[in-house]
Amino acid sequence: EKIYVAPFAQPVRALKLFSITSCVFSIACTPVLIFLSTTSSVPFGAKIGIGATVVAAAVGTTSVLNWLFKPYVLRMERKDDKLIVSTLTFFGRVRTEELALEDIEVKITHPMSNWINTRTQSAFYVHTNWTEGDEVIRHLMPM
C-alpha cells in the first residue's frame, strides 16, 4: 500500500515545538524579569511596555506559524474509500482525520492549502510538485 509522507514533516514539527516552547518561556520569564530588575534605571512603565512587546512578539509569531502550518499534511494513506490524513495540533501533536473521498475538493482557501474537506471545510496541503511523491499522491487522491 502506498503512503504519502511529507518531505518536510520532521522540520515542520520541530519548528512548531520550538515555537511553542519559546513562546511559553517568554510568557513565563517576562514578569520575572520585570519585577526582579531592581538595579535598572528604566522606569517601571517602560519595563511593562518592553515586557508586553516581548510577549506580543512571542505569541504573535507562534500564532502565525500555527495558522500557516495547520493544513500541512504529514502523512496520508488510503483505506478503501477513505483517506487517513495526519496533521499537527497547536501544540505539535499528531492529529489524524478520516475523510471520505467524495468530500475532497481541490480548492485553495488558505495560503498553504491545495485541497479541502467539503464536509468540515478543513484545508489541507500536500506537496504536489515533489517528484518522488507525485505517484503516491496520484494513487491516494483523486486530484
CA–CA dist 89, 96 (Å, integer): 10
C-alpha cell at 1: 500500500
pTM of structure: 0.81
What is the reported pLDDT for 135?
67
How many angstroms separate the first and last alpha carbons of the chain?
18
Q: Which three cell numbers stand for residue 104?
A: 475532497
Give the chain's count of helices (H) and strands (E). Answer: 3, 7
The C-alpha atoms of residue 139 and residue 83 are separated, in whole angstroms, by: 11
Nearest to 55 by CA among 21, 26, 80: 26
Residue-level pLDDT at 143? 54
Among residues 51, 91, 98, 107, which one has the least CA distance to residue 75?
A: 98
Q: How far apart, in whole angstroms, are the C-alpha atoms of residue 25 and residue 39?
A: 23
Per-residue pLDDT of the chain (143 residues; tens, 9 = 90+): 668 888 899 999 999 999 999 999 999 999 888 888 776 788 888 889 989 999 999 999 999 999 999 999 999 888 888 889 999 999 989 999 999 888 888 888 888 888 888 999 999 988 877 765 666 666 666 55
